[in-house]
Structure 1
């Protein structure tokens, strides 16, 4: 097949390379001239994605992968179009469709009869049918479900391990009609590979969800579940702090029983998914009080961690505090909704002087993010915000003068911090 992938970001580019690895001719469309140039050179435009550099170079050299800024032209030459353009949500949980609208309008200009269009960006329920279908029809003069097929198939992968996750998790597909759904299922069966998993209720592979709304809800439900579960774990942890109980011991005990799957508490919930998709769900279902309460509970955790520091340290006025980790999670160079921002803000609100260090970022990059970069200044307190592997071997010998450490991720070695006060959430 000839396939167009719209948006060559951290999900779209590995997806395009996966399609090419199956022998299909793939054109990636992106608004960034820099990204397009690097892809055409066979160079990954971002670090950290396992095996992407090797597979991208192989696909380009084989003539199976090219990139362009002309989305309409790429769509016009394609039999299938896969859309992975970012969707943003504002502070009030209102979706900002700006980038996706622009991409959809460009797709419509190049749309030809017989094309399959699949949206993979996580969406509020109903968006595929009520927003994208009319927009594609208006821009192309074609009829969705008759002249072209339209489906929703959510991405379910984690950056850094996209290729492995594409094999491990079932691909969910739902269209605006039965014909489109069947065609979407057939498409993904041709472009993906799957590992066998005995723990699934149905065989691994491509799952027919019946319609677009079911596929849209499935993605919102699975990510919202994680946010609610973490929110519950954080509530348990905060209570455990009041009764001198180690919540990790409690969670281990609970999860030894097959009906309990409690997640782990922590200083923040970050990334493009978990902090965002519950808000999309709430946009559909504003009466979902459980979802709203969990989101609020998780958003409070950076302030709670700073309160733990203040309780252990005392007055934080003029205290020089090192925040370890700008990334939203360990091993990933990404700060989307990272807990570093509210943690720094909470420290400043208490009169402290925060600094930020991260093994994946230079001081200049941190400064560009608006963060006070650490340059080796003496510090008297530490807050661990991200679970980078490097922090497992960090200790008091590396930061002499520290009086208190709050490990918001339980990643540090207590023995390396012996002699000072070490606090954990739920400990």
Structure 2
């Protein structure tokens, strides 16, 4: 079925229909805008064209996508050029990653920008929401759009930056409640971007003095969290030496309103915290807390392995089960997951590595070079060591009695009940 757009609505092109792009597109489409969503993934386009959300576990999103589909206000296409050519506002939410050597990987967003330049019409407002190194919106992307479109930035097209600030599993809620930070290339760009978000999302606006300020603010948020987690991990290690329980320390310390200690853990993963600090580091902030925090947080997997060896000895031929392939609880996302570091190190130790994650299929887990294992499988009786990496809700009712020959439960998130484990004769270790 071909869906005809609603000609009475102002047009927005959302470039990138991933876990953040689709919620944005659906929100815009239900708040008075005709939305053309562009994505290179055919399965994503097909799903949205049926009125279905390919992004799962996001409360309210499936309903918004279906409602927009029924109103003909959300149309998905694999042609960014066509989507942009129909729009007077373009919102870009295409990922920027880092390579193995921590250099910035622009391949996806560079490709999107090429297409935006080809389809851009005079008078269009282009807003980048992708987290970027400060300066990139103007110097890398704005100038490239100028070259391709032959339109002048700030005069013949408008440019702004407003970083996404949402959290998986509550994106719709965050879009409705978080203030929207926005910076513009010039006054006209800022005014147009601010007015758009006020109309499209109804949220509070924080207008900053420049695009670079807005870019910097988002990266700074992630650096703050990375540094705070690194501090918590460092304190947790020291607390162990002092025979002090860090969870009690944090609760007591944070009762004072100026203390905001985060929770320690086995590592930091995902698209944000372990990646975005390199947007500063690679721009020249290559000494100090930012770089040190990256080192501390990435070392936590090695720290965990050393604690396993201290408790159970040589890991060679030990059956080790990792609970949670995903980088954190209740999401399906393995980017920079600590589990990947654990898997590599356990294989080096010649352990037999098993993984359980209710969010992943058997074949998806196998693709990571490990053996999938259900917590209901009889093989559970042969597991020697269990590592909790992501505390999914399914693990809240885990039956520890099934692990009848387990020597050690390593609680990488300090979430399990130590007494329930130790009374079965199983060693317990946390961060």
TM-score of the two chains, using structure 2 as the length reference: 0.94
- Runs of 4+ more than 6 Å apart: none
**Matches for 1:2-81 after TM superposition, within 5 Å:** 2-81=11-90
1:347 offset after TM fit, Å? Answer: 1.5
Q: Which residue of 2 aligns with 1:386?
A: 390
Deviates more, 1:374-383 or 1:165-174: 374-383
Q: Which residue of 1 aligns with 2:146?
A: 137
**Matches for 1:144-163 after TM superposition, within 5 Å:** 144-163=153-172
Note if contact 1:393-1:412 (Cα within 8 Å) is conserved in structure 2: no
**Matches for 1:53-202 after TM superposition, within 5 Å:** 53-194=62-203
Distance 1:192 1:329 in 2: 28
Distance 1:101 1:55 in 2: 30
Q: Which residue of 2 aligns with 1:222?
A: 221
1:415 offset after TM fit, Å? Answer: 3.3
Distance 1:153 1:371 in 2: 40
Distance 1:87 1:29 in 2: 17
Alignment partner of 2:346: what SS? helix
Distance 1:92 1:129 in 2: 25
Q: Which residue of 1 aligns with 2:349?
A: 350
Note if contact 1:29-1:70 (Cα within 8 Å) is conserved in structure 2: yes
Bigger relative contact order, structure 1 or 2, given CA contacts below 8 A and separation 6+?
A: 1
User: What is the aligned-residue RMSD (CA, Å)?
Assistant: 1.2
Alignment partner of 2:315: what SS? coil
Distance 1:101 1:178 in 2: 26
1:398 offset after TM fit, Å? Answer: 2.4
Distance 2:369 2:147 in 1: 42
Distance 1:261 1:288 in 2: 24
1:409 is aligned to 2:413: yes
Alignment partner of 2:371: what SS? coil
1:23 offset after TM fit, Å? Answer: 1.9
Note if contact 1:93-1:280 (Cα within 8 Å) is conserved in structure 2: no
Gaps of 5+ in 1: 195-204
1:384 offset after TM fit, Å? Answer: 0.5
Deviations 1:262-299 (A, max 9, x none): 10000010110000001111112333411000000000
Deviations 1:10-40 (A, max 9, x none): 0000110010111211110111121111101
Distance 2:340 2:181 in 1: 34
Deviations 1:113-142 (A, max 9, x none): 110000000000000110111110111010
**Matches for 1:296-311 after TM superposition, within 5 Å:** 296-311=295-310
1:274 is aligned to 2:273: yes
Gaps of 5+ in 2: 1-9
Distance 1:369 1:50 in 2: 29
1:93 offset after TM fit, Å? Answer: 2.4
Distance 1:359 1:270 in 2: 18
1:350 offset after TM fit, Å? Answer: 1.9
Distance 1:188 1:369 in 2: 40
Q: Which residue of 2 aligns with 1:198?
A: none
1:252 offset after TM fit, Å? Answer: 1.0
1:395 offset after TM fit, Å? Answer: 3.4
